[in-house]
Amino acid sequence: MKRIIAVSILFLGVNTFAQIKEAKIKELIALTGGDKLASQAVSENIGKYQQAYPGVPRKFWEEFSKEMSPEKFAEIYVPIYNKYYTETEIDELMKFYNTPLGKKVLEVMPLILKESMEAGRKMGEETSAELMKKIDAE
C-alpha cells in the first residue's frame, strides 16, 4: 500500500511539473508572438490558395481561417518547444525577451526574415540568369 501511495505521489509531482513547464511554454509562445505570426501567415496565404483553387467555396476559406487560430498553433508548438528546451531555458528565454534587447529582437526579427528571404530570392534569380548565359555561351 505504501508503494502505491509513493508511486501516486511521484506521478502527481511529475505531472504537476509537466503542467508548469507547458504553461511556461505557452507563455513564451505568446510573448514571442509565434502563434499569432503563424495564424497571420495562413490568413495571408489564403488569397493565393483561393486563386489556385477557384472552385472552393468562400465559406470553406472563412472556416479554415477560423480553425487556424493562434491558440491551435500554440497547442501544436508546445511539444516541439518541450522537446528542445528545458524549463530553465524557457525561463531564461522569457527573461531575455522581456529585456529591451529581447523586445527589439521580437520587433525586428520578422523584418529581418522578410528582407533575408527577398535577398535570397534575388540572389537565386541573378545566379540562375548568370548560369543560363554561361551555359548558352558554351
User: pLDDT tens string for the chain (138 positions)?
Assistant: 666 655 555 555 545 657 899 999 999 999 998 877 877 787 788 888 888 888 888 888 888 888 888 888 889 999 999 999 999 999 999 999 999 999 999 999 989 988 998 999 999 999 999 999 989 988
CA-to-CA separations, 111 to 76, 114, 117, 122, in angstroms, rounded: 25, 5, 10, 16
The residue ranges of every structural domain in the chain are 2-98, 99-138
Q: What is the pTM of this model?
A: 0.67
pLDDT number for residue 9:
57
Q: Are 70 and 35 in contact (CB under 8 A)?
A: yes
